[in-house]
Amino acid sequence: MSHVPAVTRALRVLRFLASRTGPVSATAVASELGLPRSSTYQLLEAMAEEGFVTHLPEEHRWGLGVAAFEIGSAYLRHDPLERLSRPLLAELAKQTGATAHLGVLHGATTLYLLKEQSSHAPTLVTGVGVRLPAHLTASGRSLLAHMPRAHVRALYPGAGGFVDRTGAGPASPTELREVLNRERRQGWSSEEGQVSPGFSSVAAAAFDHNGAPVAAISLTVPSSHPSGLADLAPHARDAAAELTRRLGGKHPGTAG
């Protein structure tokens, strides 16, 4: 019998099942998590009684139950990403005088969920609910830089997938790959005049418990702003690291 507390084992089972593309056998659960087979069956049966897993007898497999779906739906109703991010953006805008955004990937576009700015900040096109080409935005590229290469190739299979707003920015899969490699190494992304002439942005990604990028925090300033992008980058990166911590996540370079 494992010395790991039962609640920890149950949570590990849920996380494992959530990571699979479909139901799996109890043997696979036991093998992957290093649990005795007998106690694995007992654990799965107890979780099934509470609705967190479901047994498919004809297939001899186990999958997530309705209760797991209900918990996930409740999580989404609480808008945790936005609630956890809002105070970070407000502090960023106050500290830097820049406009701070929270953005996520929506296909090949960046979708802006939150925006915080000082009273002196100019009006930008990047309002809440606005979608912009991900390969042109600092937010989008900071997320793409940490996506699997196959995922990026699927989003940008050829030159036809590259929208041009100002005549600047990557215009082919090769150019995008080079930019993403460079920005992944430096730990933040930037764009100068690629979204709107006269404005520049810097962004860093926040990660979930699997080390996958889930959102980006960006700072946008007029190109004439006294603080250069390299000066603003640590602010965005620190805020993204704090959001990662609040989400219970980890940077992909961090050991699990």
The b/e string for 161-171 (b: 16+ C-beta within 10 A; e otherwise) is ebeebeeebbe
Report whether pLDDT(33) > 60: yes
Please write the tens of the pLDDT for every residue from 60-107.
999 998 888 777 766 666 578 888 999 999 999 999 989 999 999 888
Please write the tens of the pLDDT for every residue from 6-17.
888 999 999 899
Strand partners of residue 132: 110
Same fold, 6-74 and 79-246: no
Strands 53-56 vs 61-64: parallel, antiparallel or unpaired: antiparallel
Report whether pLDDT(120) > 80: no
pLDDT > 70 in the chain, percent: 91
> Which CATH topology does 79-246 take?
Beta-Lactamase (3.30.450)
d(CA 153, CA 176): 10
Q: Which amino acid is at 167?
A: G
Q: What is the CATH code for 6-74?
A: 1.10.10.10
Give residue limits of the domains in the chain: 6-74, 79-246
Please write the tens of the pLDDT for every residue from 171-222.
889 999 999 999 999 999 999 888 888 889 999 999 988 899 999 999 999 8
d(CA 162, CA 152): 12
d(CA 134, CA 103): 10
CA distances from 117 to 4, 199, 255 (A): 47, 14, 35
Of the candidates 194, 203, 199, the residue with the CA atom closest to the CA atom of residue 164: 194
d(CA 161, CA 64): 36
Residues ≥6 apart with Cβ < 8 Å to 238: none
d(CA 143, CA 214): 7
Q: Which residue did the predictor score with more confidence, 92 or 19?
A: 92
- The per-residue pLDDT for 254 is 52
Report whether pLDDT(255) > 50: no
- On average, the pLDDT of the chain sits at 87
Q: Which range has the worst mean pLDDT, 46-60, 157-171, 181-195, 221-235? A: 157-171
Residue 243 half-sphere exposure, CB side, CA atoms within 13 Å? 32
